[in-house]
Each structure stands twice: as structure tokens, then as C-alpha cells.
Structure 1
Amino acid sequence: MELRQLRYFVAIVDHGSLSRAALVLHVAQPALTQQLRALEEELGARLLHRSAQGVLSTDAGKVFYEHAQAILKQVADARAAVTQSADRPSGGVTLGLPHSISGALALPLLRAARAAYPEITLQLTEEISGNLTEQLKSGRLNLAVLFDDAPREHFAATALVEEDLMFVCRAGSSLAPPDAGVSLAQALDAPLILPAQQQGVRPLIEQAARRAGLVLENVIEINSIAILKSALLADMGATLLPVAPLQEEIASGALAAWPLLEPGLARRVTLCSSRNIPLTNAAAAIGKLVRQVTEELCAAGTWRGARLIAA
């Protein structure tokens, strides 16, 4: 198996046809077809379905595509690590952000990276936390912002902030609590809109409920922040979340938030990298910048509900 075969395969999948991939790669289409056939023979599996409309990945092809992407990224990172300067880091860095963090961190970080490191190409990927974990393990991400349930045996982690969970519902909703705060038992009595199990804050809430002898039921599971906001605004239920992804709606008065009491819950946000794949100078520089931007956001109160964890 050769690196060029991996590049050819990824290009074919990305462009959806052999002919378009051949044009982009500047390779004759018969040669591209030959390399693809050799790759499928070596793997003993068909990777693509071919038709007049183009190509689609088979199940085996989808699995191989993820590995091929990770291998090509690690090769590019290894090349960059050898050639780039520690004083002027350059090259590509891919950072993964959970949906619920990107609203607070993504734009300030992009601005800071462009100002401090113009020769670094920073690519941000927004995913649910479970997907980010797998992508960081495989090497498709250089860095990822994850929560305190990240598998520590695989990652080196730097703590960033703690975010308090709050009870949030539509302003004026019948679900709004009468007092200045709400207990966990009161919160769990309401119909809750939460991420699916093992995603985001859900494990934290499930664990707290078990410790308190409570049951989490009557849950609407939504993994998309945008759809969750729409459901809250439609008064389909309340949620238990940090306020950062909802701060625009809270500031406008469309949503209202109350602190969670008895007990309060907070999640720890960490910056993670793989223990097995060394960071390039560029990735290390972006990692330091994430910490710096986080400190600035907390000092300014821009990252609402977040408490900086001392370095």
C-alpha cells in the first residue's frame, strides 16, 4: 500500500467521481482506476460503488476513508514538524470544538490566531464530543476541547474552565421556577431537552441523579444546539446546560436561566491532545493560544458562567 494510493482514494471520495479526481490530481483517469483497483485487491474489499452519476463509498470504503485521512494528516504533520521553525510556526492545525463551546471560543480564537500566527492555517471542526474523542484518537485532529469525561489514558489534558449548569427555559414559561434557583429534584420533574446519553452534559446529569436517588425521565434527546434552542423557544421543555451556547437568547430575553442548587453541577472543560502523536510546533502554539484566549474571555466576563481553572 502506498501513500499515493491513499491520496488518490481520498480525492475520489471527496470529489465524488474518478474523472473530477483525475483532473484535480493531474493524473490520467485510467491510471487512477488502476491504482484504485490495486488498493481494493490488496484490502480484499470493494471500497466504492461506481455508477454513471459518480461514486459512493461502500461500508468498507467509509471505514477506510477515515483511516486514510488520519494517515495522510499524520504524514503532513510529521513533514511540517521537521521543516517548521519554533520561532515562526507554520502549517495546518485542526482543532475540534463541541457545539456547546464553539459559540464562546471559536471566533475569538480565530481572530487571535490570525493576529499572532499568520503562517498557521487553523481549521476548526465542530462536532458532538463523542465524535471529537474518536477523531483525536485516530489523529484526524491535532487538538480538541473536551469535557471532564475524556479518556485520560489516551490524552494529555490541560484544564481550561469550569462551567456551571443552569436551568433554562423560555421566558414566561409555566416551567419557570418560582424562586431564584432550582434544586436538582425540581429540575428533573420538568420535561427536559438534553443531549443523548453519553454526549455532552448528559453523563454528568445522570450521575448526579443516581447519587441523589432520583430518576431522569421524560427527556427529549437532541444533540444539535440549534434544534435544542428551537425546542426551548417553542416551550417544549427546559434544559440543564451551561449558558454559553444560549447567551444570545438569554441576553435578548427570549430565554431565562436559573442557577442549579442542591446540588450545583459544573463540567470541566479541557484542552486535549493525543499521548501517542507528537504535536507540531504549530499545534503547540495554538494550544497555548487556546489557554490565553480562554483567560481573556473569563477576565472580560465574555464566557458567561465559566470559571478559569488555574494553570
Structure 2
Amino acid sequence: MNIKQLNYFLSVAECKSIASAARELKIAQPALSLQISKLEHELKTTLFSRGVKGVQLTESGNIFKEHVRLMLTQLDKAVADLSELDGSPKGTIIIAMNQATDNILALPLCRAVEKKYPEIDLDLRTGLSYEVVNMLKRGEVDLAIIYEDGLNSDNINRELLIKENLLFATKPNHTNKYQTSIEFNKLTEYELVITSEKESQGYIIEKYERKTGIKLNKRRPYGQLLTSLRFACEGYCNLLLPSSAFYHLEDNKFIKSLKVVEPEIFRNVYIATEANRPVRNISLEIIKIIKNLTKEFNEKGIWQGDLP
């Protein structure tokens, strides 16, 4: 078994066709078939079921595919780690964050990294807060931006990036035109789109409900964040979100935000790395860039909250 065979296997699995994979890999189809057969013989199992419409992974093939992806990802990381030692950082850095943070950081972060480290390929992944944590735990990313969510964070190193405010976001109208804040108990007058307690936002809101003894009128989201924001812009719902999620919409007067008071709602945002793996030097440099961008956006008021 060798790396070339593993890459051949993944290509066939993704193309679902030996002929298509051979064209993509620029090798002869019989040669590719032979390498897959050798791999199956060595593993003493059948990885693909063959049919007139192509190939499909067997149960063994699916299991092997997940292990191969992880192995090749770790190998790529090892090569990138070693390349940094010669003073020429290059390769792929994978960062995971949720949609709100991605909205404010993705573009300026890509620009800053491209300018300072042109040989670095920045791979950004997004997901719900618990999905981002799981990516980090599985070793799929180099670093992540995660939220306070009450979940088990064993084997994760966390550093506070910002203590962000969750704001009341609604459609602008004549009633809230001059309003700048809203008391927590007044939120009961509105239906609020809130995620489940499994996700960070739902966890934080439930914590404040316990703290105040006030139960809010909650409903589940309308799909992804972008969809819920569209609903809010049209006046179909109200949201509790960090300003990072909608500052661009507020600038264009599609959304009006009010600061929640008595009490304010805060959520801790962390830069996180896997505790069992040494942090790459280039990752430390990118963390510095993320901190500088966060400070800049906080000072401009587009990412509201308290810096550490």
C-alpha cells in the first residue's frame, strides 16, 4: 500500500467511475483498475461494487475512505509543518468558524494572509458552533473560532478573542427609529428566532432565561443564518445576534439593532486549537492577524463587545 494508491482510491470513490477517475488522474484505465485491485487484495476486502453505471463504495470502502482522508490530511499537515522550519511558510491552513464570524472575518482575513503570506492557501470552513468544535476535535482543521456553548471541550486549548454582545435585530420602523436599547424583560413582547440549546446561541439565551427568571417567546430558525436575516429584513421575525452577523445590513438600513440591557447579553468567542497537536508557527501568525482584525472591527463598532 502506498500514498499513490490511496489517492487513486479516493479519486475513484469521488468520481464513482474508474474511467472518469482515470481521465482526472491522467493515467490509463487498466492501470488504475490494477492498482485498485492490488489495494483490495492487500486489504483482503472489496472496496467497490462494480456495475454498468460505475462503481459504488461497499461498507468496507466507506469505512476505509474516512480513514484514508484523515491519514492524507495529517500527512499534508506534517509536510506543511516541516516546510515552515526553513523560513518559507507555505501550504494549506484550515480554519473553521460559524457563519456570523465568517461574515465579518473571512474576506479581510483572506486579504491579509494573501498579502503577508502569498504561498499560504487559506481554507475556510463554516458550521454551527458544535460542528466547528467537532471539526477541531477530529483534527480536520488547524484552528477554529468557537463560542461558549457548555459542551465538553476536552483536548481543546481556548483563548478569549472577544466577549461579544448579542443584540436585538429587527426591521427598522417609526417606533424604533430613535431607540438604542431594549430591556431584557421587554423581549417577551416579540417572537425571537433562537437556535436549540445544542447550539451556542440557544445555550446562551437559556442561561440568561435562568438568570433572570424570564422566559422568552422563541421559535426555530428559518434555515441558515442568511435566510433568517432575510426574514428579519422583511419584518417576518426578530433575532438575537452579534453585530458581526448583520453589520452590513444595518449600514444599509435593512436592519435596526438595539442593545439588550438589564442585563446585557454577552457570549465568549475563543480562538481554539487542538491540545494534542503542536501549534504551527504560521498558525500563530494567523492568530495575530485575527486578533488585530477583531480589535479593528471592535473599535469601529461593527463587532460590538468587550476585548480581553
TM-score band w.r.t. shorter chain:
0.7 to 0.9
- Shift of residue 195 of structure 1? 2.8
Deviation digits for residues 20-42 of structure 1 (CA, Å, limit 9, x no counterpart): 22233344434544555666688
Unaligned runs of 5+ in 1: none
- Length-normalised TM-score, structure 1: 0.84
Q: Which of 51-60 and 86-95 deviates more? A: 51-60
- Length-normalised TM-score, structure 2: 0.85
SS of the aligned residue for 1:100 comes to helix
Matches within 5 A, 1:114-133: 114-133=114-133
2:244 corresponds to = 244
1:152 corresponds to = 153
What is the one-letter code of the residue matched to 1:111?
R
Q: Which of 223-232 and 32-41 deviates more? A: 32-41
- Percent of paired sites with the same residue: 26
SS of the aligned residue for 1:140 comes to coil
Q: How many residues align?
A: 307
- Shift of residue 101 of structure 1? 0.6
What is the one-letter code of the residue matched to 1:231?
F
CA contact (8 A) 1:69 1:140 kept: no
1:170 corresponds to = 171
In the alignment, structure 1 residue 77 sits paired with structure 2 residue 96 = no
Q: Which of 39-48 and 154-163 deviates more? A: 39-48
Q: In the superposition, relative to structure 1, how do residues 26 and 179 fare at CA in structure 2: closer, same or farther (>3 Å)? A: closer
What is the one-letter code of the residue matched to 2:248?
E
Q: Which of 207-216 and 71-80 deviates more? A: 207-216
Q: Which of 117-126 and 27-36 deviates more? A: 27-36
Q: In the superposition, relative to structure 1, how do residues 238 and 82 fare at CA in structure 2: closer, same or farther (>3 Å)? A: same
- Shift of residue 278 of structure 1? 2.4
The alignment yields a C-alpha RMSD, in angstroms, of 3.1
SS of the aligned residue for 1:201 comes to helix
What is the one-letter code of the residue matched to 1:168?
A
What is the one-letter code of the residue matched to 2:227?
I
CA contact (8 A) 1:49 1:57 kept: yes
Q: In the superposition, relative to structure 1, how do residues 160 and 210 fare at CA in structure 2: closer, same or farther (>3 Å)? A: same
Deviation digits for residues 88-127 of structure 1 (CA, Å, limit 9, x no counterpart): 3221111112101112111111111011111211111122
Matches within 5 A, 1:31-110: 31-33=31-33, 35-36=35-36, 52-55=52-55, 64-85=64-85, 87-110=87-110
SS of the aligned residue for 1:221 comes to coil
1:13 corresponds to = 13
What is the one-letter code of the residue matched to 2:22?
A
Unaligned runs of 5+ in 2: none
1:202 corresponds to = 202
- In structure 1, distance between residues paired with 2:158 and 2:123: 20
2:303 corresponds to = 304
